[in-house]
Structure 1
């Protein structure tokens, strides 16, 4: 009897080990078939629709596709207001450097990429460019990081390094989008730079 119980435990342990080994560490689980998709009417433009419609945001569209859950989240119609600072293709080309060519393809790199997207998202707020002036202001993003906002020479700047090139763009009747030419200098980016043994100035 004891031998049978031991064999059952051994078999269970073997099956569990094989199941766990089928997926690489830090990799995403495949989306199950039949997953619920919120309804979307044809006259609605979601954030994902907006990003895919612009030729200057193709890199951002690829980034969203590589981070689990973001395409589904950005393709829904939320009932709350928000603002997103969308990095343009030029921003990725000028400021990501070695990060995209070495760290991004790794599982941990994709995980960190989701954090980077959240750094550019401000929930529950419509931040129109008209509300900012020459007085320095701080806003809080979805990842709880603070970003400085200030108007200089008639243009809105983020953290003194990223200029808003196109603002107050409607996605639906309750949301706004802005596009800026540089990715902001953020703590997470500096951490990533250290992990790939690259100078943080690569992002400046």
Structure 2
């Protein structure tokens, strides 16, 4: 018997973390000091990830915080550069997703992601069709590690929490999932995840 559903994080598990060259491109486009830029970028990111503001709104707020001015053309360039910086995927992990789908494993996705980036992934990655549930924070109005994000997934999957294995590269997100009754796996390597899945299936059998 298959143990249950695997609920994947996106960035740091299936997709790469923000690329260094992409980060440099963002600084060049913004034309502001790097340290100030990244302080504002991350401080303002949660409402953007939760869909409370759109891309142009996010970049206007960032400009205001820095005492800068971004016109429409620069905002469009910043959105494009931001999306590109998060666009690389891990081929080994995508192969694992496709393998699990072929084997009949039910899988889901829970990601902190703004709308512009969510649309990019939907438009460019057909492997997303394998997921029974795609929980994007920008459409839920909740982001990890908020309990509501995990509860939304439990309802959408119609699966008891103990039959969901949540896989994330951030310990605080794994612990938050476990606090809602899910099982958790702190992602480090594909091989260690495979071993975890094998142990889970053996226990279920």
Shorter chain as normaliser: what TM range? under 0.3
Instruction: From the two aligned structures, give the one with the greater helix fraction.
Output: 2
Which has the larger Rg?
A: 1
Instruction: From the two aligned structures, give the one with the greater strand fraction.
Output: 1
TM-score (norm 1): 0.25
TM-score (norm 2): 0.24
Q: Which has the higher contact order (CA 8 A, sep 6+)?
A: 2
